[in-house]
Structure 1
């Protein structure tokens, strides 16, 4: 299905990618701060699921189609910006689960991670630039994309999940104080807002 030599070369590259701080890691950190360790892991799972979807689309050739049409690219990007801004509003108006308020449901955290990942067209552009370097055109292309994408998704789930769990443990302890809970809520909303601005500005540089 996949050349073992290419897979061995891909593993350290994928690990380096997973360990590089980025939007996914920041999102899981914010979700951990907002809801605790379990929602953080759920958010990481949602992001990894979104990565698999992106890889599948790239393997089928649909990713290149989206990348070639700026209108489609911008529509997806602005949907992501709008969703992140909605998360800002929801975070500011609702007490953090760690502070004794309504707990963040893991299912909601999973959905948030999935939607934020799927509405970031930069992800599929990166996959189109990165994964084909390790694909043997003489073998089934889609199968190779799926294997390599699973490696990226699994590594990302572990790394981002650990970051979120660590943040969740600290946030849950600190948020017992109402004043600190409000500060954590503002910090979390700021992270979501920063990701929205980053996604909006990236489109101008594309």
Structure 2
């Protein structure tokens, strides 16, 4: 793969993953409740979700979604419903003086994976984004593997950084009123993100 193209891809991907979206809001919300120990499972879930979305995109699913409004709409509703469900759970989470116990690592990873992977807009985006950095005169599979690995690594590092920051903040947030406000803010953002996903159209 051309090094210049790869560096350009790195810069573009780094800027993309740093924009806080539904996945990062989920990471922050769970890290506030669970502490920094959830950082690795959450980052792994984000990386796995992005890998699934990019792999499906490059395998042709993105083109199918772009051509099939029914399938695209169905996946929008599935992703939207899951975000709303997570948001409602965060809104209703019990608040105590002590920090909430951390989520089991498997559950934290699973939630981050599902929110990241079930984003049909992201799948379609990857179809348009990734091919711009592939040289048609070279082997497709090798270049695609490099780009997928690069993007997933950047996404994982970004999620890990957000989780660590939020985990440190969780130690200072002890007042029940403050924790309740943070839970409701995060829950409202996730519910809003779910509704936005449902209302958006390709």
**Is this a same-fold pair by TM over 0.5?**
yes
- Which residue of structure 1 aligns with residue 186 of structure 2? 188
Deviation at 1:97, TM superposition (A): 9.2
- Normalised by the size of structure 2, how large is the TM-score? 0.89
Distance 2:114 2:68 in 1: 21
Deviation at 1:98, TM superposition (A): 8.9
- Partner deviation per Cα, 1:54-101 (whole Å, 9 max, x = no partner): 111122222211221111111111111111121123223333699444
Asked if 2 retains the 8 angstrom alpha-carbon contact of 1:34 and 1:184, the reply is: no
Unpaired runs of at least 5, structure 1: none
Unpaired runs of at least 5, structure 2: none
- Which residue of structure 2 aligns with residue 178 of structure 1? 176
Aligned residues: 202
Distance 2:44 2:98 in 1: 24
- Normalised by the size of structure 1, how large is the TM-score? 0.87
User: What are the equivalent positions in structure 2 for 1:38-57 lying under 5 Å apart?
Assistant: 38-57=37-56
Q: Which runs of 4+ in 1 moved over 4 A?
A: none
Distance 1:146 1:97 in 2: 46
CA 1:129–1:89: 2 relative to 1, 3 Å: same
RMSD: 2.1
Asked if 2 retains the 8 angstrom alpha-carbon contact of 1:67 and 1:73, the reply is: yes
- Partner deviation per Cα, 1:151-181 (whole Å, 9 max, x = no partner): 111111112221122112112320x322222
